[in-house]
Structure 1
């Protein structure tokens, strides 16, 4: 069943979020937040101190056609500035970021996570064995990803998961671990950093005919205060 309260992002050809040495640094993909519904008690809190961040998740669906067509969730990390120092529309790209979702790579939609501290690194994984196996390569269906703060005996980091609804114990959700990211909470003066969460979409192929439409639902961000 398709989710309700969806919203779309259209990514034009030549859009991407990617940073690779020696000189590639692209951050021109469209980002968005869900529109505030008439019955919403309060707007989504999508930004705050990194020390307070707990988790973020989103569901998405689209039909890819071009290599690297993608959509997902974006976490942007910035050093805190005075609220009136630089208008949000005038700010440069974030110095550090993470994106995770679905990316079309070598003929198949894949779970994709890119983590950018100094330069970006990228990992891909096959979609988990579910009803996806019965679909054509381009038919993704609704997919949910989650990025969650995690602390263990070795320290604090972020875990990225694919969330499978109805496949866990007693019909609950099951989380498939995709990647652990350890640099985020190792920033110098961690208390000076903020994180912002958005939905994002990109179509890096510059010669593509038309834009890529990605549908989103269920953007959720949790904080510890």
Structure 2
């Protein structure tokens, strides 16, 4: 699976700091960084730190990071962007006192799904997003273990999209997330093994 160099991506919004160390990219988020559109909360947040590269139909992207989270809404994962009102974020988020595996799919308005994964705190996690024709498929798991299905969302083949690592810190300063790998490969062969 080919690695994508950190230098091959472009930030949607630059983080407070990003430093390469021993192959990892250590990303320090700006306080208040997040991505959300309107639903339930009434606000628009368009300040996420997403390092993006082209994401053509028929491909998949994987991001590996350590979920070193402790404050409300600390998060990292994969961001897929078509435009300001159409995007997906998927990964691990610290919500309501524990790590949660989730996805936000936005097409004008955001939705949000979560499932608790408390054992993932301070562990290496891999999030994979695969694009194939009519959908994106999100999978995630502890690195080195089988990935579980998280979400299937509609996504037309003709959409011009970019994807890559995401880090956000909506409620605090000082969140630093080590990103370990950013890879690309062909899309998944199917939804189920």
**TM norm structure 2:** 0.75
Q: Which has the higher contact order (CA 8 A, sep 6+)?
A: 1
Alpha carbons of structure 1 residues 143 and 25: separation in structure 2 relative to 1, 3 Å = same
Alpha-carbon distance in 1 for matches of 2:116, 2:78: 18
Selected match of 2:138 from 145, 160, 164: 160
Aligned residue number for residue 212 of structure 1: 175
Alpha-carbon distance in 1 for matches of 2:144, 2:33: 35
1:11 lines up with 2:1 in the alignment: no
Aligned residue number for residue 69 of structure 1: 74
Structure with higher helix content? 1
What 5-or-longer segments of structure 1 have no aligned partner?
34-45, 79-93, 134-138, 168-173
Q: CA deviation at 1:200?
A: 1.5
Q: CA deviation at 1:223?
A: 5.6
Match of 1:13, SS state, is coil
Aligned residue number for residue 181 of structure 1: 153
Q: CA deviation at 1:53?
A: 4.0
* Number of residues of Structure 1 aligned to a counterpart in Structure 2: 165
1:121 lines up with 2:126 in the alignment: no
Q: CA deviation at 1:105?
A: 0.7
1:148 lines up with 2:130 in the alignment: yes
Aligned residue number for residue 95 of structure 2: 105
Alpha carbons of structure 1 residues 150 and 32: separation in structure 2 relative to 1, 3 Å = closer
Structure with higher strand content? 2
1:42-62 CA distance string (max 9 Å, x none) = xxxx215x4x34211111114
Alignment of 1:181-200 (within 5 A): 181-182=153-154, 184-185=155-156, 191=158, 193-200=159-166
Q: CA deviation at 1:165?
A: 4.8
1:154-206 CA distance string (max 9 Å, x none) = xx312111144554xxxxxx221111112x11xxxx53x3111121211111x
Alpha-carbon distance in 2 for matches of 1:216, 1:197: 15
For the pair shown, which has the larger CA radius of gyration, 1 or 2?
1
What 5-or-longer segments of structure 2 have no aligned partner?
1-21, 188-193
**Is the contact made by 1:145 and 1:161 (CA closer than 8 Å) also made in structure 2?**
yes
RMSD of aligned Cα (Å): 2.4
1:202 lines up with 2:184 in the alignment: no
Runs of 4+ in structure 1 deviating by more than 3 angstroms, as ranges, are: 163-167
Match of 1:63, SS state, is coil
Alpha carbons of structure 1 residues 158 and 196: separation in structure 2 relative to 1, 3 Å = same
**Is the contact made by 2:60 and 2:184 (CA closer than 8 Å) also made in structure 1?**
yes
